[in-house]
Amino acid sequence: MRRQNLALVLGAVAAHGPLSRADAAAATGLTRAAVSSLVVELLQGGLVVELGPAPSGRVGRPGNALALSPRGPAGLGLEVGVEHLAACVVDLRGEVRAEARLPAANRGRPADAVLAELAGLAERVTAEARGLGLRPVGATLAVPGLVDAATGTVVRAPNLGWSALELPGTLLGLPLVAENEANLGALAELWQGGALDVVHVSAEAGIGAALVVGGRLFRGARGFAGELGHVPVRPDGPDCACGARGCLEQYAGEQAVLAAAGLDPAPEDQVGLLAARAAAGEPRVLAALEQAGTALGTALSGAVNLVDPAAVVLGGAYAELGAWLLPGMRRELAGRVLVRPWRPELLTVSALGRRGPLLGAALVTIRRILDDPGSAAASGPPRSAG
């Protein structure tokens, strides 16, 4: 009961803060005395801070305003991409306080080496965060592939060449959980006020999607829902790294688009390269992106006809290519979605873009703390996201 009430008060501060103890009592329906006692615990745990006296229309002594702490417990987000590694620390308010990103050629690279380099990056951002008074209490790793959250196993990540890879349960002494990167991108969007019934596309080297249903992640029977990148676009199309043929990734994945555009891979940022060349008006690049947008739209039309979401969001690095991808996507959706008219504004671009999955990874720990403030003190057991 006290744990639930702690979460209630912390939730009120998160949703409406800064606010006084009296306002917290009004928002939660708890007595002023109960709130005061709970606030003592939240202050001791470093979860809230007192700002100056709160303005109040009430008679009597003005109370100090409470706000989520910009120090104290924090979440560590980690990401293994096909071409990069990234880490960030987010405070209780959801603000990124330390962040680092490294280019890395991870395709086919031994997982040990990838995780060792990632640990170095994580050490750097956590040290920086500690210097700011933050204390990371949990870590979540975003992976471009199928993750079995219950066992911490990466079942299959075709673009990395990982399969049946068991991840360590801790990193830098923090409990570590893994999660599909598209799921984390969708959660980041959802937790920042996004729509409740969404197909959230997360595209870069690989193409994934997350299905959000009624404000919750839809995981499927075994936890592997959302593999949009391996929806067939043309059944007899090119061979895919997954072993099938004609998957969406073979038409809209980064490598396919670079090849169609006649570009050599950049040393680091393929999406940045494509955006720059498209902005410069290079006809082959424009045609390649048009073709990719059309393929994305074809596969998404099938997804929309199957799951009937209220909105489709383009996230991941491809959010930066929205200007060139959206016309083809919208044309396909308008022509193929059975419930008509399909309104073009139902497809939007995520403002988080390529930072979504990393931010979502860090926010998993923050959401866990807000749901159960006691877990921050104990660094509670790892749980799955969403």
Please report, as ranges, the residues that interact with a copy of itself according to CB under 8 A. Answer: 146, 155-156, 158, 197, 209, 211, 213, 218-228, 230-235, 242-245, 247, 294, 298-299, 301-303, 305-310, 332, 335-336, 338-340
Complex with a copy of itself: residue 228 or 314, whichever CB lies closer: 228
Residue type for position 205 = A
CA 69 and chain centroid, separation: 22
Structure tokens at 177: 């959980």
> Where is 101: in which H helix or E strand?
strand 96-103
For 286, what's the count of Cα atoms within 13 Å in the CB-facing half-sphere?
7
Burial of 264 (0-12, 13-18, 19+ CB in 10 A): exposed
Complex with a copy of itself: residue 31 or 305, whichever CB lies closer: 305
Is the dihedral angle over the CA atoms 329, 332, 334, 339 positive or is it negative? Answer: negative
Identify the three-state secondary structure at position 335: helix
Complex with a copy of itself: residue 59 or 338, whichever CB lies closer: 338
How big is the chain by its Cα radius of gyration, in Å? 22
Task: Supply the minimum distance, in Å, between the C-beta of residue 157 and a copy of itself.
Answer: 10
Structure tokens at 34: 């109960």
Task: Supply the minimum distance, in Å, between the C-beta of residue 133 and a copy of itself.
Answer: 42
Complex with a copy of itself: residue 3 or 222, whichever CB lies closer: 222
Separation CA 380–CA 384 (nearest Å): 12
Tell me how far CA of residue 307 lies from CA of 179, 210, 226, 304, in angstroms. 22, 12, 11, 5
Task: Supply the minimum distance, in Å, between the C-beta of residue 365 and a copy of itself.
Answer: 26
Complex with a copy of itself: residue 40 or 306, whichever CB lies closer: 306
Task: Supply the minimum distance, in Å, between the C-beta of residue 224 and a copy of itself.
Answer: 4
> Where is 229: in which H helix or E strand?
none
Task: Supply the minimum distance, in Å, between the C-beta of residue 340 and a copy of itself.
Answer: 8
Task: Supply the minimum distance, in Å, between the C-beta of residue 77 and a copy of itself.
Answer: 25
Complex with a copy of itself: residue 20 or 159, whichever CB lies closer: 159
Structure tokens at 362: 């860090």
Complex with a copy of itself: residue 107 or 245, whichever CB lies closer: 245
CA 146 and chain centroid, separation: 15
Task: Supply the minimum distance, in Å, between the C-beta of residue 197 and a copy of itself.
Answer: 4
Separation CA 336–CA 342 (nearest Å): 9
